[in-house]
Amino acid sequence: MSTTFKKRNIFLWLLAVAFLTPIIILFFLSFSKNWRFPAILPEQFTTENWSYLFFSSGNIGQSFIVSLTIALSVACFATLLGFITSKYIAYHKYRKKLLLLTYFPFALSPVIFALCLKFYFIKMSLIGNVQGIILAQLMIAFPYSVIFFTGFWSQRIKQFEDLVATLGGTTAYAFRKIVMPIAKSLIMICFFQCFLISWFEFGLTSVIGYGKVETLTIKVFQFVTEANIFYAALSCCLLILPPVILLWFNKKFIVQTSK
Amino acid sequence: MLKLKSLVSVLAILSLFACNNDKKTVTGSSEENNDPMMQQSWEQITEKAKGTTVSWLKYTGDKKSNKYIDDVLVPRMKEKFGITLKIIPGQGPTIVSSLMSEKEANLETGQSDMVWINGETFFQIQQFQGLFGPIDYKLPNSVFINYEDPIIKYDFQQDIKGYEAPWGKASFIALTDGAKVKNPPVSMQDFEAYWKSNPGKFTLSLDFTGYTLLKTWLIELAGGSANLQGDFDQKKYDLYGNQLWDFINKNKKYFWKKGETFPESAVTISQLYATGEINFGFSFGFTAVDKGIKEGLFPKTTIAYVLKPGSIHNSSYLAIPYNAPNKEGALVVINYLISPEAQIEKSDIKNSGGTPIFDVAKLTPELKAKYEALEKPKYGMTEEEALSKAIVEPHSLYMIKVAQDFRKKVIEGK
Amino acid sequence: MGLNTKYAIFNTSKINIISFLLLLVFAILPLILGFGFAVSYSFGLIGVLNKGFTLENWSALFENNDVIVSFLYSGWLAIASLTLSVVMAMAIAIFFHKKFSKGIYSYLVYMPLAFPSIVAAFFFAQFLGNAGILSRICYQLGIIDHIQSFPNLINDRFSFGIIIAQLFLSLPFFILLYTGLYQTERIDDYTQLANSLGAKNKQSIFRISIPILLKKSFPNIVMYFIFKIGTYEVPLLLGRSSPETISVLAVRKLQKFNLYDIPQGYAIAVIYTIFIISLLMIVLKINKNEYDI
């Protein structure tokens, strides 16, 4: 028993290390200065990077707020609208075909999709501003939400609703007393999933945002291109933070964001 | 010395060419801008610019220069002119494609008010009339600039016609660690010999810096820059281009990572050089070495030098897109940026470094003194040294072709 | 809001119209418009530098096999990282499903899910690069004596860096999927039954656990494959100059250096869209149970 058991433990340990080190290293880098090969630790640990980016003209706090605003709006709209539309699809006679249509925008590479749509966004003056990015990201998050909820509107829910109707209850009553309690936790999950889709988005945002809307992912890329690894690491930390906080509250919130 | 001679003769030919135009204004442009906006007086323009935002689309690859812009220039624009200057990061090619998309969508009010461009970017934007102009004659600080200076008048062999205002002059130099590389390779043969005895220590970037190195070699193969003067010549390009690709393909196995991949930008090259992975870097500006050493990035033994055909000189410019929503604001900012005061500050190694665009002869004695008091580069080379080996940029199409063929014939190996 | 207004909002016919409109605006219309734009641009029908209908861009695109190579490369990367993820995640589900259902590991496994692709790409560039952390550790331990003796792990010939980064991003997803399936499909019960009937451990793993898990997860695997084909950030930062993945190639043609390459870029977008849509249609057709996210 013992040798295989140990081997297994080593494997698990390695996995734990692999999952944890990136966060720790990024955090350390964000406090570092002068980190020259072949030193493992930087010459200096400092809070300079943080104070410069937050309090001088670094504007990273602003980026954080911009990202947050976009992600919360996308999550709200996508969840709400997706919940409504999914019911329509779920009980539609062409359910399969409609669902297929919703999969398309969701499955395409966001950056390619955005480049094909850029023209229309320019036409509608939706380029280089937050509204444009919210709309563009909704084109990924909304289909996600629709697909997510379509499974929810099962035959069982319909039967409950019908039952309430036969017993003389209104649709609103059925919605409040039957549908909502069952859907509540799913709505929460979908909300956070959509939040993360938006929070993590880079390719589409870079095209539609024109570089003018500086979300955190855009900032990371910018710092990487100017070889500013400490600032990039700092922005990475800010990007990782909200998902980790969500994780603290509920593991389910951050499951399976495949994009 | 021969280089200098050929340069002088080229300059003479170019200025002769320029003098043919007798209708020209101070800025070398023959036409004035009929746009009603340009009929306003400079005072009206400054007044109108107050309280507005100017979006400046520019390449932001230089950390130090970014910091200077963020920490000094942005607050100053606010304080001096009441203008909120907003930097939008974008590389040359992105600037071109963004403007073109706006043109295609017939967008009346664009996303940016001013752009930092030169060479092939200017050439490509002009293909679809993407710029507002001419503007130079309207800028009061144009008086300090000699628009007949061929390095300003011609942007990669193309007459700027007042559509761009110069912002900085650059000279292409190579840099290496003098402690490691005793006799820096100058000619292509030197490089070949060096690569063979020191494999893995050289690479070039897939951006304007790397392509400028390729153009320098193209000039070397053509036997000097005079041979590639004027419009793009497909025959010449095919001849020397093929020699160049043969030369690189024959040797790329001695490059960094065996020449199987190339860094995307000069920034990465500097980093590779800093960590000692490669021994050569390339830069625009004789001050680059001092800047790198000051930043603590480069070893103190770094030296700058010029390759055999000479140092390609060019200017980079500020221009206004055809659909800029705030043209007044952009004019005010551009006028400030080309002012001697701003140019001297920018040339400071502590900030961006590089060569200012004003004509020293046109400066007031005070400004001249201020300029001469600037800290001189200690490690790199002097301005005079770089200038003495100056050669002019070939036509933009050489850059575009070189970029395309380097990918096709070297990276993809077809 | 009173009951009445609520009732009105949830009036079925109205809500159906709204739903349909939403679907149209956010899902169907963008696809049609975007695709139409790409098609017209690639044939020279629109665009300031285009001069009317032409097949030139398409023939130029197929003068060399860049696009085909790019598709094969994207596909290969997706398959490589997916295979690793699936195999590792299955092994974990089979051997350690208890550890991952609660306790510290059930939290740790979520960590990579907090990483956007661009952050993962940046981290692995810092970790695996020649001047990266791993290289420094090797140097300090005396394994390498020079920065160059460290093997190329990013921007490398075998796309090691990209595959590792993709593995990091997708492994947790598959671990969660398989540990979940392990329980819901009651694989423990089946294996115990098989073992009591005389099956060896190995047999029950290869004959029962793996087939069930694979079958149940097949739609997820294919969806993941579709996503990974279009991946952009990771190969952008960790890939070589050539070959490029489809997204990187398309973006380069559309936004880099030569304006006359733009129609070709749109042609690539057209091919890519057709490819993904056909793949999706086949998958959803074969798989009668829809893929639930």
Contact A118 B101 (CB under 8 A): yes
3-state secondary structure at position B171? strand
Residues of B in contact with A125 (CB under 8 A): 107, 109
Question: Please, what is the angle between helix C66-101 and helix C262-286, to 10°?
Answer: 40
Q: Tell whether A110 lies on the interface with B, counting CB pairs under 8 A.
A: no
pLDDT at C288: 59
Residue-wise pLDDT tens digits, B259-269: 999 998 898 99
Half-sphere exposure of C2 (CA within 13 A, CB side): 2
Residue-wise pLDDT tens digits, A39-73: 888 888 888 888 888 887 668 999 999 999 999 99
pLDDT at C170: 94
d(C-alpha A116, C-alpha C37), whole Å:
6
Please tell me which residue of chain A has the smallest CA distance to C30: A117
- List the one residue out of A86, B271, B136, B133 whose CA is nearest residue C125: B271
In the 8-state DSSP scheme, what is residue B355? B
In the 8-state DSSP scheme, what is residue B394? P
pLDDT at A254: 57
Q: Of the candidates A25, A200, A243, which has its C-beta nearest C123's C-beta?
A: A25
Report the gap between the CA of A147 and the closest CA in chain C (Å).
Answer: 7
Q: Of the candidates B57, B71, B271, which has its C-beta nearest A227's C-beta?
A: B271
Residue-wise pLDDT tens digits, B226-256: 999 999 999 999 999 999 999 999 999 999 9
Percentage of residues of chain A with pLDDT beyond 90:
48
The secondary element (H helix, E strand) that includes residue C171 is: helix C160-184
Residue-wise pLDDT tens digits, C150-208: 999 999 999 999 999 999 999 999 998 999 898 888 888 888 888 888 888 888 888 88
Question: Tokens representing C178?
Answer: 């398989």
Q: Identify from A92, A258, A259 which residue to disrupt to test chain C contact, counting C C-beta atoms within 10 A and taking the largest count.
A: A258
Residues of A in contact with C127 (CB under 8 A): 22, 25
Q: How confident is the model at residue C1 (pLDDT cuts 50, 70, 90)?
A: very low
Residues of A in contact with C30 (CB under 8 A): 105, 113, 117, 139
> What average pLDDT score do residues C273-278 get?
94
Residues of A in contact with B94 (CB under 8 A): 211
Contact B93 C257 (CB under 8 A): yes
Please tell me which residue of chain B has the smallest CA distance to A121: B105
pLDDT at A131: 96
Please check the confidence at residue C51 and state whether its pLDDT lies above 90: no
Mean pLDDT of all residues belonging to chain A: 87
Please check the confidence at residue B413 and state whether its pLDDT lies above 70: yes
Contact A127 B74 (CB under 8 A): no
Please tell me which residue of chain B has the smallest CA distance to A115: B101
Report the gap between the CA of B413 and the closest CA in chain A (Å).
Answer: 27
Q: How confident is the model at residue B27 (pLDDT cuts 50, 70, 90)?
A: low
Please check the confidence at residue B387 and state whether its pLDDT lies above 50: yes
Please check the confidence at residue C228 and state whether its pLDDT lies above 70: yes
In the 8-state DSSP scheme, what is residue B163? S
d(C-alpha B254, C-alpha B199), whole Å:
4
Contacts from A162-171 at CB under 8 Å and sequence distance 24+?
A: A170/C3, A170/C7, A171/C7, A171/C10, A171/C11, A171/C12
Report the gap between the CA of A57 and the closest CA in chain C (Å).
Answer: 23
Q: How confident is the model at residue A5 (pLDDT cuts 50, 70, 90)?
A: low
For B35-46, letters b (16+ CB in 10 Å) and e give: eeebebeeeebb
In the 8-state DSSP scheme, what is residue A117? H
Question: Tokens representing B133?
Answer: 């102009």
Contact B60 A226 (CB under 8 A): yes
Phi, psi at residue B321, to the nearest 5°?
-60, 155
* Residue B317, amino acid: Y
pLDDT at C238: 95
d(C-alpha B69, C-alpha A227), whole Å:
17
What sections of chain A are H helices per DSSP? 2-30, 48-55, 60-90, 95-107, 110-123, 130-150, 155-166, 171-174, 180-200, 203-209, 216-225, 229-249
User: A65: buried, middle or exposed (CB in 10 Å: 19+, 13-18, 0-12)?
Assistant: exposed
pLDDT at B288: 85
Contact C148 B277 (CB under 8 A): yes
Structure pTM?
0.89
- List the one residue out of B393, B346, B402, B414 whose CA is nearest residue B374: B346
Please check the confidence at residue B17 and state whether its pLDDT lies above 80: no
pLDDT at B358: 94
The residue assigned the tokens 């002097």 is B382
Contacts of C232 by beta carbon, 8 Å cutoff, 6+ apart: A109, A110, A111, A202, A203, C117, C245, C247, C248, C251
pLDDT at B75: 94
User: A110: buried, middle or exposed (CB in 10 Å: 19+, 13-18, 0-12)?
Assistant: buried
pLDDT at A11: 85
Residue-wise pLDDT tens digits, B158-182: 999 999 999 999 999 999 999 999 9
- Among the residue ranges B57-71, B204-218, C133-147, C237-251, the one predicted with the least confidence is B57-71
Contact C127 A22 (CB under 8 A): yes
- Biggest CA–CA distance in chain A, Å, is 77
